[in-house]
Amino acid sequence: MKTALDRLEGVLQGRGVSRRTFLARCARAAAASSLALPAARALAEPPEAGPREGAGAKGKHDLVVAKGSDPGAITRKAIEAMGGMRRFVKPGAVVVVKPNMAWDRVPEQAGNTNPAVMAALVALCLEAGAKRVNVFDRPCNDRKRVYDRSGIKAAVEEKGAKVYFVDDWNAVKAKFASESPMAGWPLFRDAVECDTLINVPVLKHHDLTELTLSMKNLMGVCLGDRGEIHGGIGAKLADLTAFLKPDLTVIDAFRVLTAHGPSGGDLKDVAARKTVIVGTDFVLADAFAADFAGVSPANVPYIAEASTRGYGSADLKGARIRSLGG
């Protein structure tokens, strides 16, 4: 104790080293840190990556539409009706459950995905044997506020998910097999390199695209300046979603935003539809959701483009749809 205090006193009195040594150390540290700064500025160019390899699993039905008053429960029922989460999540898989967690709004305002729906999905993935379930988004408002006030961070962490912010530098550049307006766009690496991707948008009105649904939701894994995506948005979102190949699309229509989307704010614009829509064909899921919201799927630019490009089917009449509840 005595020697420790003496040594502490020596250090505090600068007696530990000679002046020359001390100054030399300062200079070395300064030189080292001043070298680190330019090196850090020259961050490596992100590597290219081809389309995500989805699990390609098919569900028991084309679509399952579950209605009820408990959002978590109807999500579970819908997944069970689809054949269970084990169809889509293999043991030891790394799963990304990608919500709409973009806006500084509380769940009642329907600006983000319902936290209970997210919690149910995370629990199902872990029950199916997933090694890790990652939940993230790249918000439009301040990310700490959004993660807290959306209620999603707390709800999914309670179930065991890993929640974190998107790293702006951690990208892979999208490499398409054929020409695409999204070629070379930096995407968040974790979304491309996961074993299973579950896309969980919330149904909202949107002035540019009429509605924001699952294809629009994947803008949240795009890095860079997303404002540029707005020109010719239909084709870009269609290509983006096809590149990411979500294994499961779960559209939260429990509370929907009927006007002044996508940020909303006024509770008068929120309608309680108490429904969750689940499908493996993202085009079909979006088409059904559009129709559900009273909008013709042809009027939603990315549904039209995706259907034209053959990424999925928008044919609601020919689809095998299972309805639960209500």
Q: How far is the CB of 144 from other proteins (least distance, A)?
A: 5
Instruction: In whole angstroms, give the CA distance from residue 284 to residue 303.
Output: 9
Choice between 220 and 264, CB closer to other proteins? 264
DSSP-assigned letter for residue 166: P
Encode burial over 202-216: b for 16+ CB neighbours within 10 A, e otherwise. bbbbbeebbbbbbbb
Taking the complex as a whole, the smallest distance from the CB of residue 284 to other proteins amounts, in Å, to: 26
CA proximity to 140, closest of 14, 245, 261, 306 = 261
CB of 254 closer than 8 Å to CB of 134: no
Residue position matching structure tokens 């404002």: 227
Residue number with CB closer to other proteins (36 or 272): 36
Nearest-angstrom CA–CA distance, 270 and 254: 10
SS3 11: helix
Between 76 and 216, CB nearer to other proteins: 216
Least distance to other proteins from the beta carbon of 68, Å?
29
Our CB check for other proteins shows the closer of 164 and 315 to be 164
> How far apart, in whole angstroms, are the C-alpha atoms of residue 114 and residue 203?
11
Least Cβ distance, residue 83 to other proteins (angstroms): 32
Residue whose CB is less far from other proteins, 127 or 266: 266
CA 101 to chain centre: 7
Question: What's the min distance (Å) between Cβ of 31 and other proteins?
Answer: 7
Q: How far is the CB of 273 from other proteins (least distance, A)?
A: 20
What is the 3 state secondary structure string of 37-80? HHHHHCCCCCCEECCCCCCCCCCCCCEEEEECCCHHHHHHHHHH
* Residue closer to other proteins, measured from CB, 158 or 167: 167
Q: Which chain residues interact with other proteins by CB under 8 A?
A: 2, 5-6, 8-9, 12-14, 19, 22-23, 26-27, 29-31, 33-34, 36-37, 39-41, 43-44, 46, 104, 140-142, 144-145, 148-149, 162-165, 167, 169-170, 206-208, 225, 227-228, 230-233, 260, 262-266, 269
| 3-state secondary structure at position 100 | coil
Minimum CB separation from other proteins for residue 91, in Å? 20
| Residue placing its CB nearer to other proteins in the complex, 41 or 317 | 41
Cα(314)–Cα(286) distance, integer angstroms: 8
